[in-house]
Amino acid sequence: MDKFFYFNIKIYYTRSDGVYISKKLINVNERKVFMEEKKKTLTGLQPTGVIHLGNYIGAIKQMVEYQDKYDSYIFVADLHSITVPQDKDTLSKKCRDLIALYLACGIDPNKNTIFIQSENLYHANLAWMLECNTYFGELSRMHQFKEKSKKNENFTVGLLTYPVLMAADILLYDTDYVPVGIDQKQHVEIARDIAIRFNNKFGQTFTVPEPIIKESGTKITDLVDPTKKMSKSSDNPKGVITLLDDLDVARKKIMGATTDSETVVRFDPENKPGISNLINIYVSLTGKTIKETEEEFEGCNYGTFKTKVADVVVELLKNIQEKYNQIVSSSELDKILDEGRNKTTEIAKAKFEKVKEKMGFKRN
């Protein structure tokens, strides 16, 4: 059994494995409760394209799990989105729709601080300060800059400097961890370099963030060409199920999914990629194992299996869409975004003023 030792305003206890843990003792509504300090995470969402089933299974479900473990900050990175031309008449709607969809998928506003990047001016302000402490060579070596600049000679300077804005996003909030895919790790690394350089030059100012490399969520592939990852840029819309697809259309996409000449529901990604993809979808949405799924559909034909997969997908989409439609036009969404803006602006202003003072921007 764990043993507790009370001391001052903190409580220390030893777990059965001998590790000492410290928790703050605080007062809420005149009742003493224990609350372990959580590490901060920050996630930026691009308000472009559509959210599909692969995104939900591979990333959003993991975000929902993180919200119980970390002090989570989630923002719509609309300033980042304008490195490529955006329609000014639809950009704000995309931001609102995106947040509403994530909320409908299970992101809890009571467990996350949610805001829109452009509503907090300190992101861009700090980015300029950090740009003046970042070198051209660092930015020109970024993988995404090299790849995208090769495709377009007339790219804007924003394509070169946006990693510094990303660093500002992270450093403003003393973020401990940044959940990223392996292809985004370099952006966290340059944020670390900028933070360390600034701290060495001006004194301790920023928390140096660490990347959390997202676990490989189940990879959902294209329903028409199961050798390719499900993607919003797919050549054939029948291969992609978006979270806002018409329910009948989504069902038809599952029923028309590419399979093979066998009639055995068996997980074999190399030889049966289509059926294996449908098994992955079914497993991810039901919580069953691959073995349990194979046993459940032993002796069944593909039509029967596809119908069951379609049932669970349609049920998921129905629930998400019902919540989305309730949220997207509600005053509650504005309240969530207002609260997020006010909270993060206060935090960001304090950090920015500290940076200004350390760099010499003050009256004598």
Annotated catalytic residues are 148, 229, 232
Q: Which two tokens stand for residue 298?
A: 């032993």
| DSSP-assigned letters across all residues of 260-292 | -S-------TTT-HHHHHHHHHHHHHH---HHH
How many CB atoms are located within 10 Å of the residue 69 CB? 12
Interhelix angle 91-104/331-359, nearest 10 degrees:
110
- Is 139:164 a contact under the CB 8 Å cutoff? yes
Q: 11 in helix, strand or coil?
A: strand
Q: Residue 347: which H helix or E strand, with range? A: helix 331-359
CA 213 to chain centre: 12
Helices marked H in 184-330: 185-202, 247-255, 273-286, 290-296, 302-328
CA 163/CA 165 separation, integer angstroms: 5
Q: 157 in helix, strand or coil?
A: coil
Q: 21 in helix, strand or coil?
A: strand
